Structure 1
Amino acid sequence: MIIKKYIVNDMKEAIIRAKYELGKDAVIISQRTVKVGKWYNLRKKKQLEVTVAVEENIVTKNNNINSIQNEYKETDMGQSIETDFIYEKASDIIKNKLVSYCDLYEIEDNKLTIEEKKNFLNLVLKNNCFEKKLELERINVFMGPTGVGKTTTIAKIAAKEHLVNKRNVGLVTMDTYRIGAVEQLKTYANILDAPFEVVNSPDEMAYKINKLKDCDMILIDTLGTSQRNKGKLIDIKDYLDAIEGEFNKYLVLSVSTDKDTIYSILDRYKLLNYDGLILTKFDEVTVLTNFWSIIENNTLPVQYFCFGQDVPDDIKDATLENLLDYIEENFTYA
């Protein structure tokens, strides 16, 4: 007998994963609630630990599924897959695996439902970057080029944490270069009745953070800078090196940026040792080139995706399910 445990958000996810990995004869034998996250985090996320079993001789479908997950075999792709608005910018590896998936489950590729598309991606892209998540630390830093929406993203997260999770949030900016940057974040702080601090030099960082010692969470806006400006990246690093204790660093990327520039940003910003990504401006693109570039090539967690200017509404957790639902409901093409 094969026994496997899954850590999942809900029973539906467990059933889907068990079905596609172990086959339709898999049986759920136990479930319990567990807390997932770092040991010192008092707000660890609750998830389900589901134990599933299947007889060892029931392996045919499982072997076929493993071949879809692990092997690349060139097949004749139907026109519907080549032009599907979700898959048209995927690599040929993904498209060919989709053909094999449709053959295995006897599905016509032009009749895939959104749920079947989700199931396929969860099958072939296990542990993909959209399913990985960081635990929000008490201190969280946001970095990225000018114009990607860092400040608005911070406002969305601050509003969500304050209004939904009832946290006392403090806001900090070190972006004193860009005209209006301080005033923009200060306006959001005033709306949320949140404490706000401006850091003018690395020497001030520890002092200004200490002024927010009563806050449950601190969100820090950095100077927006081109990935080609190594001097400013080093300046930001000096500020970050002055932060005491553990903190998360998020690189904010606009999916409307061209693919080569995104690769350049991901590479040059490694100087700042970012921990995860936030994707913005999904409402400004009509093709999913960067979605596929990131999901197929990036291993770091993608925490959120943003799709408009409304605070706090236009932001969601960047799970595959949320992304595909958004794409299905909102993408239109010329």
Structure 2
Amino acid sequence: MKVKKYVGKNMQDTIFKIKAELGSDAIILNTRKFKEGGFFGFFGKEKIEVLAGVEENEQQAKKAAPAGEDDQVNQAGSNRDIEELKRKIDELNRSWQQDDFVRRLDDYSQKLYNHLLEEGVKKELVCDIIEDVSSGEDNKDKLEILQSTVRKQLGEAREIEIENPPHTVAMVGPTGVGKTTTIAKLAAFFAKNPKKRVGLVTADTYRVAAVEQLKTYSDIINIPLEVVYSKEEFASTMAGDFRNFDIVFVDTPGSSWDDKLQLGRIEGILDGELLDEIHLLLSLNQKLENISKVYERFSRLNPDRILLTKLDEAAHHGDLLNIRLWCDLPYSYYSYGQDVPEDLNSADPENLLPYLLGDYNV
């Protein structure tokens, strides 16, 4: 079925347009009235919006089918038409609701709305946020509501806290997400405190030069590094001298989100009884679809926090909020460069707000 939206100054005018294009067999699916133009909702011209549809010609499908299969073709075509019609109606209804929502906003709220869309925030989430914002009495109040709403969406950061040493923290994530560099940044940060003993463990023996890279960092920071190849070796290391350390960071092999075999190997190395925290690293220079797949597949490793990487390589920062739509784990830190340990910060909402709002002119 072919479905299209028509706008006219009255019903008669709109019906004329429909018949002229779709013919007399067209059917009316939905209608609504709205005002266009005007000033602050007054003096606008009333118009009619009509959703109309018409059955498309199925003669080609009939000719292509054998004589005894006409009924099957008709039934299949009818089912497809019904599903397609439902989808288009749902899309148009959502579009109408959003258009009406935006038309009701004042200029300042519309600017905030457009800004969030340009940052890549999902439209349904933008509508929820701006609905709160539009209740503000003036521009300053609206901006404060926006900041408060975004803070709540981001949630409070959960940084690493050493409670019962040795506190073991593992980093997991796909290949190229920046696990080794992030571990070096965290280790260097904690090693700045002379009262804290920091150790490194790496199980990333699959990637070429991975051990050498972490060994270079450990030499620079002047902290010990142990290489393990199994869960048993990891347990033995933690039962040895490392049991006297305050915090131990564990590097793990990278894996594609769809490599079940490699994910199984990582799961086989990590001993949950010896780990206090598992941070899943998500790179913001990836498409949201890929980020969600990484989160879904790596959930089998039971991470309890999200560490965001490569914010400096992200074209837009709306995914800081989009991820919260389906991720209930708190953010811990975010990284934005290669400098160790400088390019790492707490994922506190106050630190993330500038990425989303930038130097927005209030």
Q: Kindly report which structure 2 residues correspond to 1:294-309, keeping only aligned pairs within 5 A, or say none.
A: 294-309=323-338
Task: Please say if 1:131 is aligned against 2:160.
Answer: no
Please list the CA deviations of residues 233-278 of structure 1 after superposition, one character each: whole Å capped at 9, or x if unmatched.
111111113x644421111110111111111111111111111110
Task: Please say if 1:173 is aligned against 2:173.
Answer: no
Q: Give the corresponding residue for 2:101.
A: 75
Task: Tell me, yes or no, if the aligned pair for 2:122 and 2:318 is still in contact at 8 Å.
Answer: no
The partner residue of 1:215 within 232, 245, 248 is 245
Please list the CA deviations of residues 44-101 of structure 1 after superposition, one character each: whole Å capped at 9, or x if unmatched.
xxxxxxxxxxxxxxxxxxxxxxxxxxxx997225541343157742233433344333
Change (3 A) 1:135 1:283: closer
Secondary structure, in 3 states, of the residue corresponding to 2:169?
strand
Q: CA RMSD in A?
A: 2.8
Q: Give the corresponding residue for 2:345.
A: 316
Task: Please say if 1:92 is aligned against 2:123.
Answer: yes
- Which letter does structure 2 place at the counterpart of 1:104? S
Change (3 A) 1:157 1:282: same
- Which letter does structure 1 place at the counterpart of 2:114? T
Task: Please say if 1:278 is aligned against 2:304.
Answer: no
> C-alpha displacement at 1:223, in angstroms?
0.3
The partner residue of 1:236 within 235, 256, 266 is 266
| Separation of aligned partners in 2, 1:73 and 1:121 | 23
Q: Give the corresponding residue for 1:61.
A: none
Please list the CA deviations of residues 171-200 of structure 1 after superposition, one character each: whole Å capped at 9, or x if unmatched.
010011111100111111111110110002
Once the two structures are aligned, what percentage of the paired residues are identical?
34
Q: Give the corresponding residue for 1:147.
A: 176
Task: Tell me, yes or no, if the aligned pair for 1:206 and 1:244 is still in contact at 8 Å.
Answer: no
Change (3 A) 1:330 1:102: closer
Task: Tell me, yes or no, if the aligned pair for 1:171 and 1:189 is still in contact at 8 Å.
Answer: yes
Q: Give the corresponding residue for 1:34.
A: none
Q: Which runs of 5+ in 1 are unaligned?
A: 1-71
- Which letter does structure 2 place at the counterpart of 1:101? D
Q: Kindly report which structure 2 residues correspond to 1:97-108, keeping only aligned pairs within 5 A, or say none.
A: 97-108=128-139
TM-score in terms of structure 1 length:
0.68
Task: Please say if 1:247 is aligned against 2:272.
Answer: no
Segment of structure 1 superposing worse, 201-210 or 314-323: 201-210
Q: Give the corresponding residue for 2:185.
A: 156
What count of residue pairs does the alignment treat as equivalent?
A: 253
Q: Kindly report which structure 2 residues correspond to 1:45-64, keeping only aligned pairs within 5 A, or say none.
A: none
Instruction: Answer with 1 or 2: which has the greater Rg.
Output: 2
| Separation of aligned partners in 2, 1:330 and 1:152 | 29
Secondary structure, in 3 states, of the residue corresponding to 1:94?
helix
| Separation of aligned partners in 1, 2:100 and 2:158 | 33
| Separation of aligned partners in 2, 1:265 and 1:103 | 35
Segment of structure 1 superposing worse, 167-176 or 96-105: 96-105
Change (3 A) 1:112 1:188: farther
Task: Tell me, yes or no, if the aligned pair for 1:81 and 1:95 is still in contact at 8 Å.
Answer: no
TM-score in terms of structure 2 length:
0.63
| Separation of aligned partners in 2, 1:316 and 1:285 | 16
Task: Tell me, yes or no, if the aligned pair for 1:174 and 1:199 is still in contact at 8 Å.
Answer: yes
Secondary structure, in 3 states, of the residue corresponding to 2:249?
strand
> C-alpha displacement at 1:134, in angstroms?
5.6
Please list the CA deviations of residues 135-156 of structure 1 after superposition, one character each: whole Å capped at 9, or x if unmatched.
5450000000110100111011
Task: Tell me, yes or no, if the aligned pair for 2:116 and 2:126 is still in contact at 8 Å.
Answer: no
Secondary structure, in 3 states, of the residue corresponding to 1:106?
coil
Task: Tell me, yes or no, if the aligned pair for 2:173 and 2:254 is still in contact at 8 Å.
Answer: yes
Task: Please say if 1:263 is aligned against 2:292.
Answer: yes
Secondary structure, in 3 states, of the residue corresponding to 2:125?
helix
- Which letter does structure 2 place at the counterpart of 1:298? C
Task: Please say if 1:226 is aligned against 2:226.
Answer: no
Which is richer in helix?
Answer: 2
Secondary structure, in 3 states, of the residue corresponding to 1:104?
coil
Q: Give the corresponding residue for 2:226.
A: 197
Q: Which runs of 5+ in 2 are unaligned?
A: 1-97
Task: Tell me, yes or no, if the aligned pair for 2:159 and 2:346 is still in contact at 8 Å.
Answer: no
Q: Kindly report which structure 2 residues correspond to 1:105-116, keeping only aligned pairs within 5 A, or say none.
A: 105-108=136-139
| Separation of aligned partners in 1, 2:160 and 2:100 | 40
